[in-house]
Structure 1
Amino acid sequence: MAQLLDILRDHLVDEKAGWSMGSFGAVAEFHQDEGEPLELDEPGLLVRATRRGAAQLDLAMVERIVPVAYETLSPKPHRWSHAVALCLPRADGLGAGRSVLTELGPDENAVRPADRSAILFDMGLGLPQCDFCVRTEDPQLLAILRANSGRSLFDPGSSASGAILKAHPHRVAVTKIGRVEVFQKIGGPDTGGVSPPGPHTHLLPQLLKSGRTHSANTPIPNDLVPLGYFHPANPVMDGMAADIEPDVDAHARFQVLFERYARPDLPPLRRAVLEALANNIEADQFTVPADRFCRATVRLTLRQQDRLGERSRSTEYRALVSRWRQALDRVSDTGAADDEAIGH
């Protein structure tokens, strides 16, 4: 537990790391800009807040968290994403699962003391592991929310969703291990149709319908449920999904987490690919396991060797990696979406 606690503290104060809580189709994210002023900075208590948002982990729950490090393929062949999911056993991680708008009273657990008198409403999204809420003291919005309590937010006769979009109340994602709060505007007509930089939320009804707790592309064991994530600095793109010069150090730091917390069979597979490349073995001499996450790990390893070795590797080595990719990671960049940034 002490080791994980140190890792969480280190990433909470790392301005290049992001945090998110929510479920598949509804997520709240906390990001910081370099040098951004802090309103709360208590890494010992796993709390940090800016004027735009806040993140807090429950210190008492850390010893129960099961971390799962993973990487995912990008639709763009020169990219990949990575994160560490913070999980609990499924029986312990499930929340209230409310399916209608519900008033919860003053938010006494708000990260900032000034927000604790505001009223919290569960939006009633029916998420398995997260109470996705709005928080407000606005009398007009309060009246509308109370008038629509007990109804689905997606009820055609409800005026709550339009009022929320217009008023931009705080959004609060509450789980058994902590919370993420977002104070900025909701992405939509008032923000030019895009999410604002920094802390923000996403609500995608078409994904909510699946009832999933997480994307099928993340190798979370069936007996666990992910409640939150931290997203260490990505070595090939920034937090808004813009390409950057490859950062070998950022990659190496995540590989330490991958070795420690990934699905147990994936780090040895990565080492086997690297050993084969080092010994100048061709792809047709390497057996790739049939499991989808094993196949993805092989492809990810090749992408990483290709992109991170642009300047440091020999021409012969990069040609070998290219041949492996032609055999095992042939993808097209055409039409790929910029969806690699957290929550995008």
Structure 2
Amino acid sequence: MLDLFQVARGRLDDPETGWNMGSFGAIAEFHHVAGDPPPTVTGDLSRITARGGIRLDTLTDVRPVAFETLSPKPHRWSQAVALCLPEDAALMSRRDNLTELGPDTKALRPEDQGAVLFDMGLAQPQVDFCIRTSDPKLLSVLREAEGKSLFEKGNPAMGAILATHPHRVALTRVGRVEVYQLIGGPDTGGKSPEGPHTHVLPKLLRAERTHSANAPIPEGWVPCASFHPGSPVFDRMGADKDFDAEAFAAFQDLLRLWGIAEYNTAKDAAWAALRAGENAESHREPDTRLGRAALRNAIRQWRRENGDASLVRAWAERFDRSTHETEDDNPGH
């Protein structure tokens, strides 16, 4: 049986696997970048590059949940493993105002351990989303704004953050992600830089969700980190690629071990019916959102793995025509 520690260590070294920590609307991501030097290994579950780093401090009591989500594009799907803790164990500070936390003595790099950490005050359940800086001018602005919401009208702190690009640090009960690159915006051409980066999206934060509704996290559990193995159907920059049977099989192993039984059962039933040549009209569509996603992904995966024969096209026409209950592609995320 696959061991979570061994899987996590292997995926940290896999250049095709992306990692993240955060919530629905505030997330920090760690990715390898093609052509960059390999990450520095600073512990069994800690990796650092010039662009950012990640450390998993503990996997105790973590429940891995493997899942696939539907893409709006009918020839694709996404895949991930969420590292979850029970709700009570996952909770962080939930500060709702900018708060100085002092020197970041647990920073991944020794040279950053004297820099000052500020909780941005996003009040998210499972992550303290922070910035870190030694810049005297930025420190002055942040200290003047301490105790206020970053989104308060007239507060200059957010503008100063966007202009100076301090490190971003996402802290959860299982570890941390640090991002050293520029914040995506005017200074990056309006898009996130390749490799480690962050997103803070106020509209999504207002939903007060710990995760997307399309991620089938079991009730009572909260994702504190996730990893996204390389897709078998698109590359890390989001471009279509030829079907990668090895990557597909590797994730199916994780799905069988850590996936939701209802999803796996519905997908296996669809594959068995297709294998037997059953007409689409004879197959009963599942009643649940998760079951429908399993059926639709089973059809997409069958087409990519076995070819686009008339039988599976008929199944797609009957069951997989809508963009309803899909999730935008987010390569490596």
**TM-score interval, normalised by the smaller of the two chains:** over 0.9
Q: 1:265 deviation in Å?
A: 1.9
Q: Contact 1:241/1:338 (CA < 8 Å) preserved in 2? A: no
Q: Counterpart of 1:27?
A: 27
Q: Identity across aligned pairs (percent)?
A: 51
What are the superposed Cα offsets for residues 123-149 of structure 1, whole Å, 9 maximum, x if unpaired? 001111000000011111111111100
Residue 295, structure 1, aligned to residue 292, structure 2? yes
1:65-214 equivalences in 2 (<5 Å): 65-214=62-211
Q: Counterpart of 2:261?
A: 264
Q: Which runs of 4+ in 1 moved over 3 A?
A: 336-339
| SS of equivalent residue, structure 2 residue 191 | coil
Q: Counterpart of 1:11?
A: 11
Counterpart code for 1:53: G
Q: 1:243 deviation in Å?
A: 1.2
What are the superposed Cα offsets for residues 141-195 of structure 1, whole Å, 9 maximum, x if unpaired? 1111111000000001211100000000100100000011110000000000000
What are the superposed Cα offsets for residues 99-130 of structure 1, whole Å, 9 maximum, x if unpaired? 00000011111111111111100000111100
Residue 54, structure 1, aligned to residue 56, structure 2? no
Q: Contact 1:68/1:87 (CA < 8 Å) preserved in 2? A: yes
Counterpart code for 2:28: A
Give the whole-Å Cα distance in 2 for the aligned partners of 1:6 and 1:284: 44
Give the whole-Å Cα distance in 2 for the aligned partners of 1:245 and 1:297: 22
Q: Counterpart of 1:275?
A: 272
Counterpart code for 1:13: D
Deviates more, 1:68-77 or 1:30-39: 30-39
Q: 1:240 deviation in Å?
A: 2.1
Residue 218, structure 1, aligned to residue 215, structure 2? yes
Q: 1:332 deviation in Å?
A: 6.4
Q: Contact 2:68/2:79 (CA < 8 Å) preserved in 1? A: yes
> Taking structure 1 as reference, are residues 38 and 138 closer, same or farther at Cα in structure 2, changes over 3 Å only?
farther
Any unmatched runs of 5+ in structure 2?
none
Q: 1:199 deviation in Å?
A: 0.6
Counterpart code for 1:54: G
Counterpart code for 1:325: A
Any unmatched runs of 5+ in structure 1?
none
Counterpart code for 2:40: L
Which of residues 310, 320, 323 is equivalent to 2:311? Answer: 320
What are the superposed Cα offsets for residues 7-42 of structure 1, whole Å, 9 maximum, x if unpaired? 101100001100000000011000002452246214
| SS of equivalent residue, structure 1 residue 288 | coil
Q: Contact 2:33/2:194 (CA < 8 Å) preserved in 1? A: no
| SS of equivalent residue, structure 1 residue 265 | helix
> Taking structure 1 as reference, are residues 254 and 337 closer, same or farther at Cα in structure 2, changes over 3 Å only?
closer
TM-score by length of 1: 0.93
Q: Counterpart of 1:45?
A: 44
Give the whole-Å Cα distance in 2 for the aligned partners of 1:245 and 1:331: 24
Give the whole-Å Cα distance in 2 for the aligned partners of 1:246 and 1:2: 25
Q: Contact 2:214/2:327 (CA < 8 Å) preserved in 1? A: no
| SS of equivalent residue, structure 1 residue 27 | strand
Q: Contact 1:105/1:121 (CA < 8 Å) preserved in 2? A: yes
Q: 1:63 deviation in Å?
A: 2.7
Residue 331, structure 1, aligned to residue 322, structure 2? yes
TM-score by length of 2: 0.96
Give the whole-Å Cα distance in 1 for the aligned partners of 2:39 and 2:281: 56
What are the superposed Cα offsets for residues 75-105 of structure 1, whole Å, 9 maximum, x if unpaired? 1111111100010000100110000000001
Which of residues 235, 242, 254 is equivalent to 1:245? Answer: 242
Q: 1:69 deviation in Å?
A: 0.5
Q: 1:245 deviation in Å?
A: 1.5
Q: 1:285 deviation in Å?
A: 1.2
Give the whole-Å Cα distance in 1 for the aligned partners of 2:2 and 2:213: 30
